[in-house]
Structure 1
Amino acid sequence: MPVKVTFAANGWYSLPMTSTASILRVGFGALVALLLGLGAARLAVGHYLTHDVDATITRAAGASDANAALLQVLTDAETGLRGYQLTGEPSFLQPYRLGVARYPEERDAVLEAADSDTLRTLVVAEIARADAWLAFTAPSAALPESPSDGTASAALQPAVSVQGKALFDQLRAANARVGVELTAQRADAVNRFRLISTVSDTVTASLTVLAVGVVLLLGLRTRRLLITPLENIRTTLTLLGRGDRTARGRDTGPPEVRQVVRALNELADESERLHSHEAGRARIRQQAHDLGASVRGSLDEDAILGEVTVGLGVALGVDHVYVRLADGTGPTGADRLWTRAGLAPPSADALREATAAPEWPRGCAWRNATPPPTEPPEPGAQALAARVLDTTNAQSCLLTGFSVDGELSGLLVLIQADAARAWTDDERALVEAVAADTGRGLHVAQIYAHQRELAERFQDLDRQKTDFISTVSHELRTPLTSILGYLEILLSGDQGDLSESQHRSLSIIERNAERLRELVGDLLTLSRIDANSLELAATRVEVSALIDRVQGTLGPAAAEAGLTLDCARADGFAVVGDVRQLERALLNVVGNALKFTPAGGSVRVSARAAGAERVVIEVADTGMGIPADDQDKLFQPFQRASNAVTSAIQGTGLGLAITRSIVERHGGDVALASAVDQGTTLTLSLPRAAATAPVTTDEATDPRAAAIAAAKARALARASTSTSS
């Protein structure tokens, strides 16, 4: 496969990017080939050194040994011959004859060991010298044995010795030359071994360096192809993990890494898309929540319609928002149309006519003008949407109805004038949620408006009632005062003596007139409380003095009715308030206790501290008690206990209501505990006065209030007497 080379602008060239697997395969293949080549070279060199050099050295050593053996055999022969020549003793020829006998074997061994031309030439020359010496010495060795005097040997000795020595020296020289040649061959083999070893080591080192280079190149290539792109991927993942959704990996590196980078970038793109989508959904949900909260928090229909139209128009970027209320569900002209700035609004009347459908959709329905539908719209929501598009010349609209308690009360229409639009599920959910809140908000606003109207009417009626009670009370007070005054004169006998029947009749008139005056006084007090015109003085009131005044006022009436009024001393307790109103409240409570306690019973008034900041005045009686079902309503005006009504005990039902109002205006509270036929305990809890509060004396009491209190005591005594009888 041809390799394509790309030249860069800087003059360098680079191979095309291949896969990491291919690079690793090529690199490791080259490395394995180098290692195999290195091993094969070492094996070949070892084989050569083992079989060639060793064989050469072995042959050279064998030839050297054979050459030495040849020389040794001939030397032994020459020594024996020389002994014979010197002594003439035939026994000295024994070594000579043995050497001559061994000479052929040693000669052949040397010839066989001569494996080169040079060595063979030298060996041949050596053998020639040996043959010459042997030929020369043969006659001498073949002479007959002589007598022991040695005359024959002496005759041969000079000539034989000189010439024979010369021939043997030549033999020695030839043998030495063969030895030198053999030594040279061994040295040449050793040098060749060293050379081959050096070359082998050099080749091995070169191949090792080349292998290391391949490994380094492979490592650098792998680092450039893998480490840098992987570092890029790691950096991208770190940035993405820190929230940088714009981080993307560079599309570099081998194909496998580029595929990973592309997958990572696609994942980041998808994550960013999902995040944007979720952010959009969260924004729409927040807008729906905020808009719904605004609608639910408003009690004005006009403000609700304004919030809905403007809020939806801005949140969804539409051109027009129209809200139509069903006939009879809102004020006339309550329909609302909002138009984006810079656009001409469509006709509200035309929209009202276009949306005059027999039934509006309960869910979202939307329609686009383009492309035009191939079939006429179906009746219902689509037909309604088509009419809206035709009326406004718009490209898209979305509409939904809203209801209250299952009954459709309005229609919400969103119009896109300039382009078709695919309304998303989140947008439709937003519109439906806002429509539902709109229906509920308008319903609540209508109920609130109706309740406000009723409240205003009730307040007007209450003011009229208060004015009527105040007017009637004032108008009745003057004639009642005159009647009671003249009755007192008549009953005193100043106008003459009265018969028993006349006295009884006038007493009945006086008793009922006192009741009427008590009722008028209570009504006046109640009207002042309701009108918030009851004036209260802020002075120090000693509780003991207050209880003493009540005892002084109601004590005679209690004794006359056969009741025991026990007022315990309450020294050291004081409250801050209006002494007249507090006395009125306590008179009401003690008076009720006396009124509803039969003869022989008792009423006890006491005071105690409740912590450091409260004083409790307790009134306990042994009277008829109050049913549990009646106790909660007794503090309302004109409410009386059912057993009191059944027993025909007179009363207006205003005393406890006035008492609680007075006590609460002083920062206190009233508590009631009662059981039928077991008596009633009523407690007044009031804030305790500081030591520096101004003191109220008896002289500060209004004379009119004292007179009224005395009259009430007399009326109470008469009422108790009448009840007992």
Structure 2
Amino acid sequence: MSSQHDVTTPSWSIRRRLLAGFAVVGLVVVGSGVGGLLLSRSSSGALREVAAAELPLQRANSQMRDSVVRAASDLRAYIITGDQASLTSLATNRSAYRQALADAEQVCPAAPASCALVRAQDDDVRTWFSTIADPVAQGKVSRAKADQRYRANRSVLLSFYDVNDALADQVDRRIDDSLRHADRRWGMSLWVLVATTLLAGVGLVLLAWLTVHQVVPALTRLRVVLSRLAAGDLEARVEQRGPQEMRAVATSINRLAEQSLRLRDAEFVRAQVRGLTRDLDRRMRAHLHGDAVAEEVVCGLGPMAQADRVHVRFVDGSRMGAVTAQWTTPALDTLPPEPPGPTHPLESAVAVSARGHQSIVVDDIALYLQGGSQASAALSTARAYAGVGSMIVAPVMVGNERIGVLVCARAEGRRRFDAADAGLVESVASDLARAVHHARLFEQQTSVVGQLRELDRTKSDFLSTISHELRTPLTSIAGYVEMMRDGDAGELQPMQDNMLEIVARNTQRLRDLIEDVLTISRVESGAVRSERLPVALAGVVEHAVDSLRPQAEAAGVLIDTYPVPVDALLMADPGQIERMLLNLVGNAVKFTPRRGRVTVSVEIAQDDVLLRVQDTGIGIPKAEIDSLFTRFYRASNATQRQIPGTGLGLAIISGIVAAHGGDVDVDSVEGRGTTFTVRLPRWDADAVPGTNGYVLRV
């Protein structure tokens, strides 16, 4: 009997002692709970009063203010822009204000002072609507006069805001008083709970001391198994023997181990899904067309989410468009792309817009459709959702703009979508939004680039045509002027000869302008024919300076040149290089006052040739240097001094230098002079066998 008693004692002794101890502790806890409940009921009553009266009034007062603020903003927007949508929004906000007013009047009778403030607010709002908003909305007041009336009646809105603030302060004070009263009650309840908790703790310590020698061995076995589980040995199990309580714990631990095994397997699956998601995102980014991106998404998401149908729709204007791409299994029918059904709000543009960033998960689509109120959509939705059990509808958003919807569906009888499935679909929808946005930007950019190229081609054709058309009459004018000056039409008086000289000079200026326009047009379009030959800069510099020296002497400007290195060689078009140098030196002479100096020098810098043209002229304002090479641009100081010019010379220079793989640098100080430095690739005759000495000297 003694042995049997020893064996059976653990199965009931722990229970008896625990029951007795917990009975004592329970009585203490119940007593404290009753006392705390009585104290807390009073504070809860105060809080319920706040929730029942003050909070609805506070919310309604805030909604009244928000509605009036938005209505004022809509009216102001209409006055400024004339947008009819602002009047629609104004009417909507007015309705919202009336609803908020009705809510406030419903809950304010408990506080007469608050009701008075609500009525005062309504008086101000009615005055504002009747004075300014309604006349403007009904077209009785023009927008110009409406702005004056709006400003004149601003005090009515300010009065409304003041009364609204007063009511908010009044409600806040009552709420604060109620909360302080509730806090005092809760404090008393807390003290009671602390005292009884201490008593319960003492009882639990005694109970633990009595039962520890019976529980420790079983806990030791549990500890060993738990250590193995923590070390990753999910196959470890607790032996189910000993007291009944310990056996129950062992059962729970064994179940937890089994659940951990399942979770490990599920995590492995999730890792695979994440890898597939990254791969899908990579494949999406590889496409540059929105439809191709959508097709990639549906084909990748369907197997990944274990769905029976995945489709994508994009918003078309204000409504949801047709099915752009879809993937199905034999369990569900394919959706027809046209018409863009279903029209049920589940996938409509309005419903997606109302949900914002939130997705919707429908466990049973049949029950969902039965609860809908859109009877007109019953036929199309029945066809679209035939055989569908559960479904996820995720918005495709770029920032706050909803551009479409991603729908994932399973057939009836299959497992419903869970939170993990919803997260996967939302993640893919987010990636889809970014990829589609990038694809659309690329398409827009491609279209714009094409339009710009076409515009540039049209511009070039126009300039070329106009220039050719102008050259013909100018040639006739120049010819007849020359004939008249030669005496073919009779002897000329000195004054007549002077007038014809002016005509001839301006005719030449027009011809130079036309040639510059033609040249810059050809340079920019790449139509300039360039013959690359070995060129020695020494001959080009000498020829250009000799050509411009008479012009410089007439202007009282001295041109200096430094000896050009013999190895200053270029592989270039001689005519273009000479024209570039003539423009540079000619500009320097033109913008240098009398007794000024223009210096031309050439030096070798490793693999480049540096050509410098320096003058002591009027210089260029620092802020305008970056715009010098723009077509038809002229510095402000040159315009003020009425120095003639077309503004095309530097643009031509820049085009010629760029065509030869070089660049132009400008260093200028207004009033002190300018230095243009042209850097061009040097040609090494010794580096090319058989070309030594074969240099074109201009």
Instruction: Give 1:589 deviation, angstroms.
Output: 1.3
- CA distance in 2 between counterparts of 1:403 and 1:500 reads 81
- CA distance in 2 between counterparts of 1:581 and 1:399 reads 66
Matched, 1:430 2:394: no
Q: Which of 306, 310, 313 is matched with 1:321 structurally?
A: 310
- CA distance in 1 between counterparts of 2:269 and 2:432 reads 23
Corresponding residue for 1:609?
A: 604
- CA distance in 1 between counterparts of 2:249 and 2:295 reads 54
Corresponding residue for 2:628?
A: 634
Matched, 1:414 2:408: yes
In the alignment, is the contact (CA less than 8 A) between 2:363 and 2:417 conserved in 1? no
1:582-621 equivalent positions in 2, closer than 5 A: 582-610=577-605, 612-621=606-615
TM-score (norm 1): 0.56
In the alignment, is the contact (CA less than 8 A) between 2:238 and 2:253 conserved in 1? no
- CA distance in 1 between counterparts of 2:532 and 2:457 reads 28
Instruction: Give 1:602 deviation, angstroms.
Output: 1.3
Which string of whole-angstrom CA distances, capped at 9 and with x for unpartnered residues, describes residues 473-508 of structure 1?
233334434443454454466776533322222222
In the alignment, is the contact (CA less than 8 A) between 2:315 and 2:402 conserved in 1? yes
Q: Which of 263, 266, 271 is matched with 1:282 structurally?
A: 271
- CA distance in 2 between counterparts of 1:459 and 1:685 reads 29
- Equivalent AA in structure 1 for residue 436 of structure 2: L
- CA distance in 2 between counterparts of 1:548 and 1:331 reads 73
Q: Which of 536, 541, 550 is matched with 2:535 structurally?
A: 541
Which string of whole-angstrom CA distances, capped at 9 and with x for unpartnered residues, describes residues 162-181 of structure 1?
xxxxxxxxxxxxxxxxxxxx
User: Could you say if the C-alpha distance between residues 505 and 433 of structure 1 is closer, same or farther in structure 2, counting changes exceeding 3 Å?
Assistant: farther
In the alignment, is the contact (CA less than 8 A) between 2:365 and 2:385 conserved in 1? no
Corresponding residue for 1:353?
A: 343
In the alignment, is the contact (CA less than 8 A) between 2:621 and 2:635 conserved in 1? yes
1:491-530 equivalent positions in 2, closer than 5 A: 491=485, 497-530=491-524
Instruction: Give 1:626 deviation, angstroms.
Output: 1.1
In the alignment, is the contact (CA less than 8 A) between 1:576 and 1:688 conserved in 2? yes
User: Could you say if the C-alpha distance between residues 275 and 525 of structure 1 is closer, same or farther in structure 2, counting changes exceeding 3 Å?
Assistant: farther
Matched, 1:531 2:521: no
Instruction: Give 1:607 deviation, angstroms.
Output: 0.9
TM-score (norm 2): 0.58
Q: Which of 661, 666, 672 is matched with 2:660 structurally?
A: 666
In the alignment, is the contact (CA less than 8 A) between 1:639 and 1:653 conserved in 2? yes
- CA distance in 2 between counterparts of 1:371 and 1:465 reads 62
- Equivalent AA in structure 2 for residue 631 of structure 1: I
In the alignment, is the contact (CA less than 8 A) between 2:534 and 2:696 conserved in 1? no
In the alignment, is the contact (CA less than 8 A) between 1:350 and 1:391 conserved in 2? no
1:210-221 equivalent positions in 2, closer than 5 A: none
- Provide the secondary structure at the position in 1 that maps to 2:342: helix
1:318-397 equivalent positions in 2, closer than 5 A: 318-328=307-317, 333=322, 335-340=324-329, 343-348=332-337, 349=339, 351-354=341-344, 355-356=347-348, 358-360=350-352, 361-362=355-356, 363-369=358-364, 377=371, 391-397=385-391
- CA distance in 1 between counterparts of 2:365 and 2:443 reads 44
Corresponding residue for 2:289?
A: 300
Instruction: Give 1:698 deviation, angstroms.
Output: 6.6
User: Could you say if the C-alpha distance between residues 691 and 313 of structure 1 is closer, same or farther in structure 2, counting changes exceeding 3 Å?
Assistant: same
- CA distance in 2 between counterparts of 1:350 and 1:369 reads 23
Which string of whole-angstrom CA distances, capped at 9 and with x for unpartnered residues, describes residues 346-404 of structure 1?
4454843233463223312112229968x974889xx99x9679832211111122334
In the alignment, is the contact (CA less than 8 A) between 1:397 and 1:414 conserved in 2? yes
Instruction: Give 1:247 deviation, angstroms.
Output: 8.3
Which string of whole-angstrom CA distances, capped at 9 and with x for unpartnered residues, describes residues 166-216 of structure 1?
xxxxxxxxxxxxxxxxxxxxxxxxxxxxxxxxxxxxxxxxxxxxxxxxxxx
- CA distance in 2 between counterparts of 1:369 and 1:581 reads 78
In the alignment, is the contact (CA less than 8 A) between 1:284 and 1:426 conserved in 2? no
Which string of whole-angstrom CA distances, capped at 9 and with x for unpartnered residues, describes residues 459-483 of structure 1?
2222122112222323333443444
In the alignment, is the contact (CA less than 8 A) between 1:346 and 1:392 conserved in 2? no
Matched, 1:560 2:554: yes
- CA distance in 1 between counterparts of 2:585 and 2:261 reads 81
Instruction: Give 1:290 deviation, angstroms.
Output: 3.7
- CA distance in 2 between counterparts of 1:476 and 1:357 reads 58
Quick one: percent identity of the two aligned structures?
Answer: 36
User: Could you say if the C-alpha distance between residues 563 and 276 of structure 1 is closer, same or farther in structure 2, counting changes exceeding 3 Å?
Assistant: farther
Which string of whole-angstrom CA distances, capped at 9 and with x for unpartnered residues, describes residues 38-85 of structure 1?
xxxxxxxxxxxxxxxxxxxxxxxxxxxxxxxxxxxxxxxxxxxxxxxx
Deviates more, 1:258-267 or 1:492-501: 258-267
Corresponding residue for 1:403?
A: 397
- CA distance in 1 between counterparts of 2:647 and 2:621 reads 15
- Equivalent AA in structure 1 for residue 403 of structure 2: S
Which string of whole-angstrom CA distances, capped at 9 and with x for unpartnered residues, describes residues 571-592 of structure 1?
2221221111111111111111
Which string of whole-angstrom CA distances, capped at 9 and with x for unpartnered residues, describes residues 122-177 of structure 1?
xxxxxxxxxxxxxxxxxxxxxxxxxxxxxxxxxxxxxxxxxxxxxxxxxxxxxxxx
In the alignment, is the contact (CA less than 8 A) between 2:290 and 2:439 conserved in 1? yes
Which string of whole-angstrom CA distances, capped at 9 and with x for unpartnered residues, describes residues 72-108 of structure 1?
xxxxxxxxxxxxxxxxxxxxxxxxxxxxxxxxxxxxx
In the alignment, is the contact (CA less than 8 A) between 2:309 and 2:408 conserved in 1? yes
In the alignment, is the contact (CA less than 8 A) between 1:351 and 1:391 conserved in 2? no
- CA distance in 1 between counterparts of 2:362 and 2:546 reads 90
In the alignment, is the contact (CA less than 8 A) between 1:296 and 1:437 conserved in 2? no
Instruction: Give 1:266 deviation, angstroms.
Output: 7.6
Corresponding residue for 1:581?
A: 576
Unaligned 5+ runs, structure 2? 4-220
In the alignment, is the contact (CA less than 8 A) between 2:664 and 2:676 conserved in 1? yes
In the alignment, is the contact (CA less than 8 A) between 1:563 and 1:594 conserved in 2? yes
- CA distance in 2 between counterparts of 1:562 and 1:288 reads 77
User: Could you say if the C-alpha distance between residues 329 and 661 of structure 1 is closer, same or farther in structure 2, counting changes exceeding 3 Å?
Assistant: farther
Corresponding residue for 1:721?
A: none
- CA distance in 2 between counterparts of 1:465 and 1:319 reads 56
1:110-259 equivalent positions in 2, closer than 5 A: 248=235
Instruction: Give 1:436 deviation, angstroms.
Output: 2.9
